[in-house]
Structure 1
Amino acid sequence: MNPTPLRLLIHGASGRMGQALLRLAAENSQHVQVVAAFTGHSPAQRVIEGVPHFAASELAGAPPFDVAIDFSLPAGFDAILALCVQRGAGLVSGTTGISDVQQDTLAKAGQAIPLVWASNFSLGVAVLDELVERAAQAVAGWDCDIVESHHTRKLDAPSGTALTLGAAAERGGAHPHYASLRAGDIIGEHLVQFTGLGERIELVHRASNRDIFARGALFAAGQLAGKAPGSYRVRDLLNG
């Protein structure tokens, strides 16, 4: 007997990540059912490929859902977080640029619902995060440098992922330095280098397809469903 599909709400459905989530969820319809897709403006069509679409202003009337995936903007973040808390549903969010106040509200929400916020939902980066922390602990006193490379249209530097990896290095006792490269159409590359006398360790992740981020968010949503309230990291969900 097949398990009941995960009821998924996608917030920020008109963006690049939202579109990838809709496409990949449709390919996995046996396990995932998108019950609603919300966009910043009123949709041109109410139902697109079997998925009901709504404006963000209609969020309060969302149908029942198990987990929401949010890749929107800081201005819309409060509403989806409040809805998840009200409904007792899980939240997976990759919305960047949220304020310190919003971060505090997110942390408090983790006492009521299961949630994960991440700057990068690549499962490979989640593994890299753990490896960086362990390496920093093992080679105390070595120099730590993080080099991130992205396409020329990316404005922020260092990238959010580089800063997340730097935080992992700091937890391990290292003091990372950052360098940023912007060239061509590079999707994302992150090198974490530990250098001692006469030797060097390099830990690298390269993204060759943006779908990895949407797949990671869908994986996180599946793992989050039914979990106890808490603020989880992607790496916390890798082993179920």
Structure 2
Amino acid sequence: MTDGRRSIRLGVTGATGRMGREVLAAASDRPAFEVVLAVARSPPDEPIEAVEIESADAFDRLVADREPHVVVDFTAPVSTATYADACADAGVAFVTGTTGLDDSHERRLRAASERIPLLRAANFSRGIAVLDALCARAVRSLPDYDIELVETHHAGKRDAPSGTALSLLETVESERDASERVHGRVGDSPRDADEIGVHSIRAGAIAGEHEVVLAGDHEELRLTHRAGDRGVFAAGALDAAAWLAGRDPGRYAFAEVIET
């Protein structure tokens, strides 16, 4: 593992996007990190202080020449898979928070993880990790309660349900057999006992909210997480980057980061 007293050489993809900017800002506040490359598909609207944004088309060459210890990626599925391939070729650890990946993208990440340490998380919030654990416990403890999940994000978010919502749903389904996801309701639609209702809201500039509702005949339990600022996700991604750099090849989870 990278010596904590040494600077961690960091690469950032999608550097002009919402999360790319957050990662660069968070890294600038952490003396342990040195940004050695930052790439984007499009140039920034205005200069980003102390960081040169270079073309994503040059990523393969840059990641080989600049020798980062780890790359942090928040982009789009096709780009993420391409960056992971390049990092595997260069022997560089890869952290990604991209969601909406299909089976072909996941196969490429699995292949990359055979050559480099790779960590993908739908959400880098420590609070979400705790919510996931609480959700599992609640579903086990309340086996006959109805379950609904509501997730809310900014108007520009492309994938629905969110990657975090899908992860929470997988947790619910791991604790309850024979469940069926129902996305929204319209018309004559009474609830079946084995349903898990899933609802996605897109509005404004909301950073992220997830609520799991468990309801019985005489009570309800609501488990809610709200992110007030995207900085919390950037901080978690950098925690993951620092933890991952220097590890053996393999696929790692964010839960391993917060448990150490």
Q: 1:191 aligns with which of 183, 203, 211?
A: 211
* Letter in structure 2 aligned against 1:103: E
Asked if the contact 1:69/1:93 (under 8 Å) is kept, the reply is: yes
Per-residue deviation at 1:44?
9.6
Structure 2 residues without counterparts, runs of 5 or longer: 180-195
Matched with 1:121 is 124
Whether 1:224 and 2:244 are equivalent positions in the alignment is yes
Aligned CA distance change for structure 1 residues 155 and 88 (closer, same or farther; 3 Å): closer
Per-residue deviation at 1:15?
0.8
Asked if the contact 2:16/2:44 (under 8 Å) is kept, the reply is: no
Aligned CA distance change for structure 1 residues 48 and 186 (closer, same or farther; 3 Å): closer
**Identity %, equivalent residues:** 39
- Report how many residues are paired: 238
Asked if the contact 1:194/1:201 (under 8 Å) is kept, the reply is: yes
In structure 1, what is the Cα distance between the partners aligned to 2:48 and 2:153? 33
Asked if the contact 1:127/1:235 (under 8 Å) is kept, the reply is: no
Matched with 1:206 is 226
Asked if the contact 2:155/2:205 (under 8 Å) is kept, the reply is: yes
Asked if the contact 1:150/1:185 (under 8 Å) is kept, the reply is: yes
More divergent stretch after superposition (13-22 vs 97-106): 97-106
Matched with 2:5 is 3
In structure 1, what is the Cα distance between the partners aligned to 2:17 and 2:205? 19
Matched with 1:168 is 171
Matched with 2:53 is 53
Asked if the contact 2:78/2:105 (under 8 Å) is kept, the reply is: no
Moved over 6 A (4+): 42-45
CA RMSD of aligned residues (A): 2.5
In structure 2, what is the Cα distance between the partners aligned to 1:183 and 1:117? 26
Aligned CA distance change for structure 1 residues 230 and 151 (closer, same or farther; 3 Å): same
* TM-score of the two chains, using structure 1 as the length reference: 0.88
**SS in structure 2 at match of 1:215:** helix
Per-residue deviation at 1:79?
2.6
* Letter in structure 1 aligned against 2:110: A
In structure 1, what is the Cα distance between the partners aligned to 2:234 and 2:40? 17
In structure 1, what is the Cα distance between the partners aligned to 2:212 and 2:89? 40
- Residues 183-239 of structure 1: CA deviation (Å, up to 9, x unaligned): 444322111122234332221101111211111111111111222322222222102
**SS in structure 1 at match of 2:67:** coil
Q: 2:27 aligns with which of 21, 25, 31?
A: 25
More divergent stretch after superposition (82-91 vs 5-14): 82-91
**SS in structure 2 at match of 1:13:** coil
Asked if the contact 1:9/1:68 (under 8 Å) is kept, the reply is: yes
In structure 1, what is the Cα distance between the partners aligned to 2:174 and 2:123? 18
* Letter in structure 2 aligned against 1:57: D
